């Protein structure tokens, strides 16, 4: 009889396991405390609520429309690998007079397609879209195309077919998880192969589930904007381990890289998905934000006599735009380069 494969550690436990064994990345407790203090000062601001979702997604349809939910599914399904091979050659998309780069090129391209009458948010359409038609939707303003077109086509059509099998919309699909954040992540990972963001580290199967978790967090952000954001188990979500937030954590002194790793990254060496160093960057980032969250909760309890409602997803909602806004100040800290569909 075949032995049943053990499920991987969930993301939070994966981050803790990786941080305990990491050779090239460290969580710096002094920096963690400083970031927690920074967030404590912002604890009552809109920046540390699910409402910050709209600020980070200005190109999304109005949260009150069901189209917003399908828009989020399309964008999050293709939300990976935007870093350019050369800094001076980046994919760009202009929408209503504003030119976007990076992740925002995808958002702008999808919204541009909607404005042009292309039903790109309809699962019946994108489940069968051709590579050529998707290429037109994601077209760049310049000669540098969006990376990984065929992979984006594969995961989008695959995702569309799954939605068509479950009621024909993201809302009907995710509703099968009963509005529980943990069950939502598990449903997404179970039914959508491109969301199975897993690795093996020190002989143990671990998981990050960056896109699955951000899809759930985006769903929460939309529902919160509708006044329907009471979703159980949101504390199950960790930060969304990518390449931009780790850079911010290093910049803020909450995470550190060994000299060897820093030199490797400065050379622009490509790290494969699952490479020990790549796993350590992502795993320690998760652990780092968990430590920030725990220290922030302690500050709120000690100083305000209250429990803290700020979860790891909200901290990520703050750190990602922070990294974008301060990209020039932290340009001396290299991001890691990994071409994959997971982030």
| pLDDT tens-place string over residues 210-220 | 999 999 999 99
- 131 in a domain, yes or no? yes
- H or E segment to which residue 292 belongs: helix 276-304
Mean pLDDT of 118-126: 98
- 195 in a domain, yes or no? yes
The pTM assigned to this predicted structure is: 0.94
Dihedral angle over CA of 85, 158, 160, 102, nearest 10: -10
- 56 in a domain, yes or no? yes
What are the tokens at 116? Answer: 């042009």
Q: Which domain holds residue 112?
A: 11-325
- 220 in a domain, yes or no? yes
**Contact predicate 197/212, CB 8 Å:** yes
Task: For 260-297, write each residue's pLDDT tens digit.
Answer: 999 999 999 999 999 999 999 999 999 999 999 999 99
Among candidate residues 189, 182, 205, the one with its CA nearest the CA of residue 279: 205
Return the pLDDT at 13.
98
CA distance 153 to 150: 5
What does residue 183 show for φ and ψ, rounded to 5 degrees?
-65, -30
Q: What is the DSSP string of 6-39?
A: PPPPPHHHHHHHHHHH-SSEEE-HHHHHHHHHHH
The single residue of 76, 218, 242, 316 carrying the catalytic annotation is 242
Mean pLDDT of 59-67: 88
- 3 in a domain, yes or no? no
Number of domains in the chain: 1
- 339 in a domain, yes or no? no
- Indicate if 242 belongs to the active site: yes
Backbone Cα Rg of the chain = 19
**Confidence at 1, pLDDT banded by 50, 70, 90:** low
- 226 in a domain, yes or no? yes
Return the pLDDT at 116.
97
Q: In the predicted model, is pLDDT for residue 169 greater than 80?
A: yes
Q: Length of the chain, please? A: 343
CA distance 300 to 242: 28
- 72 in a domain, yes or no? yes
What does residue 111 show for φ and ψ, rounded to 5 degrees?
-70, -35
């Amino acid at each position: 009889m075949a032995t049943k494969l053990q499920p991987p550690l969930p993301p939070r436990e994966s981050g803790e396991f990786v941080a305990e064994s990491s050779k090239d990345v460290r969580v710096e407790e002094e920096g963690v405390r400083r970031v927690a203090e920074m967030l404590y000062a912002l604890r009552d601001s809109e920046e540390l609520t699910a409402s910050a979702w709209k600020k980070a997604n200005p190109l999304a349809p109005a949260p009150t429309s069901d189209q917003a939910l399908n828009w989020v599914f399309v964008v999050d399904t293709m939300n990976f690998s935007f870093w350019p091979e050369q800094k001076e050659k980046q994919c760009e998309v202009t929408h209503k007079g504003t030119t976007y780069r990076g992740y925002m090129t995808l958002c702008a391209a999808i919204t541009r397609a909607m404005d042009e009458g292309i039903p790109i948010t309809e699962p019946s359409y994108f489940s069968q879209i051709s590579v050529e038609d998707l290429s037109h939707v994601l077209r760049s303003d310049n000669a540098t195309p969006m990376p990984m077109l065929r992979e984006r086509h594969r995961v989008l059509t695959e995702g569309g077919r799954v939605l068509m099998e479950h009621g024909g919309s993201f809302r009907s699909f995710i509703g099968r998880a009963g509005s529980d954040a943990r069950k939502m992540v598990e449903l997404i990972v179970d039914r959508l192969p491109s969301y199975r963001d897993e690795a093996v580290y020190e002989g143990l199967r671990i998981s990050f589930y960056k896109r699955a978790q951000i899809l759930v967090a985006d769903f929460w952000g939309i529902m919160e904007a509708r006044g329907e954001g009471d979703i159980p188990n949101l504390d199950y979500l960790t930060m969304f381990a990518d390449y931009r937030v780790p850079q911010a954590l290093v910049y803020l002194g909450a995470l550190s890289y060994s000299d060897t790793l820093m030199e490797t990254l400065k050379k622009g060496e490509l790290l494969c998905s699952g490479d020990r160093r790549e796993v350590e960057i992502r795993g320690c980032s998760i652990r780092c934000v968990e430590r920030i969250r725990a220290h922030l909760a302690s500050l709120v309890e000690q100083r305000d006599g209250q429990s803290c409602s700020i979860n790891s997803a909200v901290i990520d909602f703050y750190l990602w735009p922070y990294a974008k806004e301060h990209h020039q100040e932290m340009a001396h800290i290299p991001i890691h380069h990994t071409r994959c569909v997971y982030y």
